Amino acid sequence: MIKLLFWIVLLAVIAFVLGFKRGRPAPREAQRPPPPPQRGLEPMVSCTECGAHLPASEALPGRGGQFCTAAHRASHEARLEAAEAARASVGRDDAGRS
């Protein structure tokens, strides 16, 4: 009788261990930290001045968009200011005529 009890307990222990092992990988999967961001997946932007594509982290923000170099930003902003100055002078001419 004691032998039968021993086998029942042994089977229960084996079943418990097998069930424990089978249920174990799921929580370990959930605890795994997310993979580090890959450089290849970084969003790309294009330079407003020359159209060159570059990673968003390397782009220089400026008036009117993103730029690949400070020189391109400066030349684009100079052109924007020239256009605004021309528009302002045209507006002044219209106001003077009427």
Residues contributing to the site for Zn ion (CB under 5 A): 47, 49-50, 52, 68, 72
Q: Cα dist. 10→21, 22, 24, 61, 81 in Å?
A: 17, 18, 21, 69, 86
Comparison of 9 and 56: residue with beta carbon closer to Zn ion: 56
Range list of H helices, the chain: 2-23, 25-31, 70-97
Q: Count of residues for the chain? A: 98
| Residue 49 Cβ vs Zn ion, minimum distance, rounded to whole Å | 4
| Residue 39 Cβ vs Zn ion, minimum distance, rounded to whole Å | 21
Round to whole Å and give the CA distance between 30 and 11.
Answer: 30
Comparison of 71 and 90: residue with beta carbon closer to Zn ion: 71
| Residue 87 Cβ vs Zn ion, minimum distance, rounded to whole Å | 25
Comparison of 35 and 75: residue with beta carbon closer to Zn ion: 75
